[in-house]
Structure 1
Amino acid sequence: MTTTAFEPAPAGTGTALSLTGATRIYGAGETGVIALRDVSLELRQSSWTAVMGPSGSGKSTLLQVAAGLDRVDSGRVVLGGTDITHASDQERTELRRERIGFVFQNFNLIGALTAEQNVALPLELAGRPPGRDTVRQALALVGLGERATHRPRELSGGQQQRVAIARAMITRPQVLFADEPTGALDSAAARVVLELMREMTRSGQTILMVTHDPAAAAAADETVFLRDGQLIDRVAGADATTIASRLVVLEARR
């Protein structure tokens, strides 16, 4: 793996993302479900926060409202100093295109495109096609400089995830949102991806990651725990055993 630094979007040393009293309700009346209940969370620049909790605890909803994919019913969401709580659909689309990145469990690469074409795609769609050198550098940063012309089927799962990370990072996002980024990988490939994400934070990137894996969460700076839509616990610098124990307690209290 190369040790060259990533270059995330310029930002200060303050808050990269904050949620204040964020509440999201699906449905109405007696059939309404409170997916997120009065959650307040602040992510500092260059920090890596993992989100854990039992199934149905609100993890995915938290990620979606923080990334502007969904709206809160009450509360406030601020990204990089911009209040996006009441942003229009067009403003949210531009926000996702210009200021945030996504990495998913299943990579979401386009099979017909090469690695370099997949990486270039976000900027192509934004009307700002990158030069080949820029794309090749992004792939080199994730250790895949020699795989630029390979298609996803010619890459391992871990390599595909690294292509997905390069694709997310080429736009220099203020916050990278990762949804189970190691969930489809074996332990060796997962370690490489987690090491890569740590290198990103050293270069100023902010990461919010949903995971079910205590080992992945232990790689982050802090882990927050949700249950029934509420943020009920958080630990900083904990190892995988400690995190797993906290999760077992949450499951037992359901």
Structure 2
Amino acid sequence: MTAPLSTELGRRAGGGPAAVELRDVSRHYGTKHDLVRALDGVSVAFAEGSWTAVMGPSGSGKSTLLHCAAGLERVSGGQVLLTGDDITAADDAALTRLRRSRIGFVFQSFNLIGSLTAEQNVALPLKLAGQRVPARQVRQVLASVGLDERRRHRPRELSGGQQQRVAIARAMVTRPSVLFADEPTGALDSASARQVLRLLREMVDRAGQTIVMVTHDPAAAASADSVMFLSDGRIVDHAAAPTAAEVAERLARLEA
């Protein structure tokens, strides 16, 4: 079930570039005399068509890793590559275009606009990018998450699980190279969480989507292909296809 620590996670298709790669990435906060090393020399490659869960104790650098990999935060050192393209030195305008076209992001809090319908929320990234919004494309992505019949409903008319599926559809409408998910099941009940995890699993298995997901839930992590463990800003362990019990045991050792 377990595998030795590796900087290459998932299965790399055709020997091509990884979907996302971090090379000796560091992210520091504070001053010289009060320096916090949120990431400390992290090198990891996430293969195309793979699903990796990122876990670790509070303050281990999980969300920082996700934000740096997605171009939401600047790194203090090292390189971030998206399908082989170095995005480390990209300016703000280029990063904005990148996030609108090649990166999808799903948050714990859904971040839907309450005054918009499900289909209007899904179409929003295309509108912000100044692109034409094909109604058929929006309906297709809503149908893929099982919500075509609820497309005219507003967030308050949907359950938490349905709102998260709308958020996933919104992240997928631009057909991103990578989907980053930050605690996507953290605000859901267990039944809704299982439904969302099944959807993510199908996206990987059927569509070859690459997913990098931060979670604190061993059951959610066990749905992924592999789990990467962080502690004090460094990768300290890796498990391939672990059970939820194995994930919980490793996490407990780190927290101890």
Coarse TM-score class (shorter-chain normalised): over 0.9
Match of 1:151 in 2: 154
Matched, 1:20 2:28: no
Matched, 1:52 2:55: yes
Match of 2:251 in 1: 247
Match of 1:227 in 2: 231
Tell me the CA shift for residue 134 of structure 1. Answer: 1.4
The 5 Å alignment of 1:1-254 reads: 13=14, 14=16, 15-202=18-205, 203-252=207-256
Quote the Cα distance in structure 2 between the aligned partners of 1:129 and 1:116: 14
Tell me the CA shift for residue 129 of structure 1. Answer: 2.8
Which runs of structure 1 show a deviation greater than 4 angstroms over 4 or more consecutive aligned residues?
none
Tell me the CA shift for residue 94 of structure 1. Answer: 0.9
Quote the Cα distance in structure 2 between the aligned partners of 1:201 and 1:106: 23
* Count of aligned pairs between the two proteins: 242
Aligned residue type for 2:211: I
The alignment's TM-score, normalised by the length of structure 1, stands at 0.93
Q: In structure 2, the residue corresponding to 1:223 is in which secondary structure?
A: strand
> Is this contact kept in 2: 1:180–1:210, CA < 8 A?
yes
Aligned residue type for 2:126: L
Tell me the CA shift for residue 12 of structure 1. Answer: 6.2
How big is each residue's C-alpha offset from its partner over 1:214-237, in whole Å with a ceiling of 9 and x where there is no partner? 000000001001111111001010
Quote the Cα distance in structure 2 between the aligned partners of 1:126 and 1:85: 22
Quote the Cα distance in structure 1 between the aligned partners of 2:135 and 2:91: 34
Tell me the CA shift for residue 248 of structure 1. Answer: 0.3
Flag structure 2 segments of 5+ consecutive residues without an equivalent.
1-11
Aligned residue type for 1:194: L
The alignment's TM-score, normalised by the length of structure 2, stands at 0.93
Q: In structure 1, the residue corresponding to 2:164 is in which secondary structure?
A: helix
Quote the Cα distance in structure 1 between the aligned partners of 2:100 and 2:135: 20
Tell me the CA shift for residue 155 of structure 1. Answer: 0.2
Tell me the CA shift for residue 99 of structure 1. Answer: 0.5
How big is each residue's C-alpha offset from its partner over 1:77-101, in whole Å with a ceiling of 9 and x where there is no partner? 1001110111111111111011000
Quote the Cα distance in structure 2 between the aligned partners of 1:18 and 1:58: 16
